[in-house]
Amino acid sequence: MGLRNLNCEKKMTDIINVNGGCFCGKITIRAHVLQENIVACHCTDCQKFSGAPFRATLIIDATLMNISGDVCEYSKITESGNERLQGFCGNCGTHIYATSPDRKIYNIRAGCLEQHNELVPVSHIFGQSSPDWLANISKAKWFRKGPTSEEIQPPKNG
């Protein structure tokens, strides 16, 4: 996995090294991502696969990543008619990526990476599918852990 010159104007500080894998450890991943390629995807497929209103995703060139282990794939035809391969661990079910059949670009799921808390999306895609209630999420009650734990203030925006 060599880091090639993506753009002479890109600084090394714009590139984040990431690593992670699935819950059971049978799949590991290492990659380099540009900060500008960290997005929150609100498409209905991401909502259904993740069970959440969106999922943080890293858009990564295949030459800048290495996945080890036996990844299972599910082929999904999207609303646009394109085929997307959904990669996941067949043992523990952790979602790892989505890619096209040509496998040139991967959408790595931020939740499976050690650095997930540092991978802040710089843009939101498929916003038309985002639920309206997300705009008011900070107005809801927030708890440190489960619903019977201490109530806390929501994270500050920006």
Domains and CATH numbers, the chain: 12-132 (2.170.150.70)
Q: Which residues contact 142 (CB under 8 A, 6 or more apart)?
A: 151, 152, 153, 154
Cβ contact 53:131 at 8 Å: yes
Average pLDDT, the chain: 90
User: Which stretch of 10-14, 68-72, 76-80, 104-108 has the lowest confidence by average pLDDT?
Assistant: 10-14
Q: Judge whether residue 3 has pLDDT over 60.
A: no
pLDDT digits (tens, 9 = 90+) for 7-45: 545 555 689 999 999 999 999 999 999 999 999 999 999
pTM over the 0.85 mark:
no
Q: What percent of the chain has pLDDT over 70?
A: 91
For the segment 128-157, the average pLDDT, to the nearest whole number, is 88
Residue 92 has pLDDT above 70, yes or no: yes
The Cα–Cα gap between 54 and 25 comes to 25
How much of the chain, in percent, has pLDDT values that exceed 90?
Answer: 77
pLDDT in tens, 108-136: 999 999 999 999 999 999 999 999 998 88
